[in-house]
Amino acid sequence: MKKTVKTLLGAGAIALSGLAATAVQAADTIKVGVLHSLSGTMAISETTLKDTVLMMVEGQNKKGGLLGKKLEAVVVDPASNWPLFAEKTRELIEKEGVDVIFGCWTSVSRKSVLPVVEELNGMLFYPVQYEGEESSRNVFYTGAAPNQQAIPAVDYLLSEDGGGAERIVLLGTDYVYPRTTNKILRSYLNAKGIKDADIMENYTPFGHSDWQTIVADVKKFASAGKKTAVVSTINGDANVPFYKELGNQGIKAEDIPVVAFSVGEEELAGLDTAPLVGHLAAWNYFMSVDAPENEEFITAWKKFIKDDKRVTNDPMEATYIGFKMWTQAVKQAGSTNVDAVRQAMYGQKVKNLTGGVAVMNTNHHLSKPVLIGEIQDDGQFDIVWQTEGEVVGDAWSDFIPESAKLTADWTYPWVCGNCSKPNFEKMPTN
């Protein structure tokens, strides 16, 4: 028994010293936090983004680092566990003293991190498409807002080229992003003259693997004599069995096209796409885009990951843009101080990978082009439609009554993420 106590005491001492080691001293490196799950259910998507940040950090260091210092990536594993995301954020900012965090995937992880970055005045770059309805002073959203993905995609489906759909099925995983997106879409479709009777909405749990009934239901719904299309906000793992079922039940893209917002090159990599040719996805980036920046990025990625078969996808581009913007803003501010960098971020421009220019707006959302691609038999997308220029990301949707009233603008006179009137309205301007 004595021995045990001694062992325990020893362990306790080590533990406490480990916890207390809070080294926020001015180091000779600039620390970049990487907060992506490397285990658990989200690892499948997030590991790629961790590698992307590591590649960007390496690239920046080869160019001599930033402000004369080397960048140092601090990687932690929040393990797809939402409270752990919050804990790790605190650890990154308070204990590791990082200057910026690239991370999170899915809204719940971001919502969990949000109070922490706001309290500690950190800076988070969130690289995934999401439902909007948020604009935090401490977060830059480099993924698409609903108006940069969902609405143009539906426009395309309704157009002659997209098949002129008159009946829409909204399939989604039951969480906030699909719920909100579908709510926005329903209201948008109603405005376009499609009645509620012609809209079917269905939600499934995460990782749903038995799609027989739902695919059969879609077929039934499509037999009402009107051209039918499916809008899918099905998340992650559930997509592969969904598409397999779709292919096997013989739903062809020209009969019932499916447009997806969460299916990219990475998701298709686990799939024989021959039966899916013609189904669609809407993103701000596709690997197949013909642009010199893209080619360079793909080459660098394949070299970094040492795998010639690895693909690139939209959240990687969002990470790329976010990282580039941050380095530019740091250079411009001459400091990694969060407040200074934030000011420098507004209006910051970076060449995106699709041949255009991404701009950071004062609502913390990017201007991005919207592309619609068709799945090809090689797992790539063939771009069939794209917006003329870049679309400005909208934090608050105009199609949700409560949200339409709100404005996000972090510069004078608003200085607010969710206000119906400016904060500094009454301040004299001279």
Question: Binding to other proteins (CB under 8 A): which residues in 258-317?
Answer: 266-267, 269-272, 275, 277-278
Q: What's the min distance (Å) between Cβ of 348 and other proteins?
A: 26
Q: Where are the beta strands (DSSP E) in 42-198?
A: 70-76, 100-103, 124-126, 139-141, 167-173
32 in contact with other proteins (CB under 8 A):
no
> What span, in angstroms and rounded, lies between the C-alpha atoms of 68 and 40?
37
| Dihedral sign, Cα of residue 29, residue 46, residue 182, residue 289 | positive
For 246, the token pair is 């779709």
Binding residues for other proteins restricted to 4-23, rule: CB under 8 A: 4-5, 8, 11-12, 15, 18-20, 22
245 sits in which H/E element: helix 239-248
225 sits in which H/E element: none
Q: Where are the beta strands (DSSP E) in 114-155?
A: 124-126, 139-141
Residues that contact other proteins, how many (by CB under 8 A): 112
Segment contacting other proteins by CB under 8 A, of 64-72, 216-224, 296-304, 350-358: 216-224
Binding residues for other proteins restricted to 391-420, rule: CB under 8 A: 400, 402-403, 406, 417-418, 420
Candidates 59, 97, 175, 343; binder of other proteins (CB under 8 A) is 175
Candidates 196, 210, 296, 339; binder of other proteins (CB under 8 A) is 210
Between 99 and 266, CB nearer to other proteins: 266
Between 42 and 359, CB nearer to other proteins: 42
Binding residues for other proteins restricted to 94-113, rule: CB under 8 A: 94-95, 107-108, 111-112
Between 116 and 353, CB nearer to other proteins: 116
Q: What's the min distance (Å) between Cβ of 377 and other proteins?
A: 7
57 in contact with other proteins (CB under 8 A):
no
Q: In sequence order, what are the residues at sequence separation of 6 or more whose Cβ sits closer than 8 angstroms to the Cβ of residue 101?
A: 32, 33, 34, 35, 89, 92, 93, 117, 122, 123, 124, 125
> What span, in angstroms and rounded, lies between the C-alpha atoms of 181 and 161?
23
Candidates 49, 66, 76, 345; binder of other proteins (CB under 8 A) is 76
Is 47:65 a contact under the CB 8 Å cutoff?
no
